[in-house]
Amino acid sequence: MTATSVTVIGLGPMGHAMAGTYLDKGYEVTLWNRTPAKADGLVARGAHRADTVEAALKANDLVVLSLTDYAAVYAILEQAPAALAGRTIANLTSDTPTQAREAAEWTAARGAVQITGGVQVPPPAIGTPEAVTYYSGPKEAIETHRAALEVLTGIDYLGEDPGLAALFYQIGIDMFWTGLVGYLHGQAVAQANGISAQQFLPHAVKTMDFRYFLEFYAPRIDAGNHEGDVDTLAMGAASLEHVMHTARASGVDSSLPAAVLDLFRRGIAAGHGQDSLTSLAKVLKP
């Protein structure tokens, strides 16, 4: 074990990128994956393949987990719980805040420390200057391993609560997938009308630049100010009806705009027709 050695468990696209980045930076890397062959390319570059979870855990003080969910975390770590003692587990696995908190308690009961992470970039951006990861958990553990963690990404430390990084991550993912599905629906309508995604690209970039609206809405949401001085739910509902009819006329599934329109109509039925879009917060969180 050295300051420049690390164990990586989980070799999906993200874990593979992380292990490769550590190798690029001269780290001694130990690997374990449920499908051992996924480590072949990294082993050829100098990584060590552990035969067991126990060997992988015992190889280093810092263990980076990049798995599908926390069920996979338990399925792997329960193979060698005694080997967790004294380790710091950088758990970069996606799951709920509750799962992250429960896993932190579970690892602590076995003598390990969990720091929760939510990576904010795709695998190709690991190791680049713009890459950032949300982290939460014991600050001392993060500071101890800061240099190794920063090989992968910058650190946005949110606090001691191990669930905070997972919470911030899931909020962002909520926005990310919802926004991209909206983009794909729009491109389906475009292609149905003979407009390529590449042709529409500059317009898509401008349309999906929400910065003005986010900066305008954020203080109003916090203040509970849903005044319809700039936009109203009634106006939005009329607009969404046009979108839905355009999609249908183009032969494109209209269930996505229909679902959003239904939400707008619920807001209108609750008496917010002349209030801002932000009044939907009252519908989404009664």
Q: Which residue ranges make up each domain of the chain?
A: 5-167, 210-284
Query: Cα–Cα distance between 2 and 148 in angstroms, integer?
Result: 11
The confidence score (pLDDT) of residue 230 equals: 93
Q: What is the pLDDT of residue 1?
A: 61
User: What is the residue type of 214?
Assistant: L
- pLDDT tens digits for range 57-80: 999 999 999 999 999 999 999 999
All residue ranges of the chain with pLDDT < 70 are 1-2
Strand partners, 133: 119, 155
Tokens of 55: 């060997």
Strands 28-32 and 48-49: parallel
The type of residue at 135 is Y
Average pLDDT of the chain is 96
Element (H, E) at 248: helix 233-249
74 vs 70, 77, 127, 197, CA distance in Å?
A: 6, 5, 28, 42
Pairing mode of beta strands 132-136, 113-119: antiparallel
Q: What does the pLDDT read at residue 286?
A: 73
Three-state secondary-structure class, residue 260: helix
Q: What pLDDT is recorded for position 253?
A: 97
pLDDT number for residue 2: 65
CB 133 within 8 A of CB 118: yes
| pLDDT per residue as tens digits for the range 103-119 | 999 999 999 999 999 99
Q: Are 64 and 6 in contact (CB under 8 A)?
A: yes
CB of 229 closer than 8 Å to CB of 220 = no
CATH top-level class for 210-284?
mainly alpha
CATH assignment, 5-167: 3.40.50.720
pLDDT at residue 3 in the model: 72
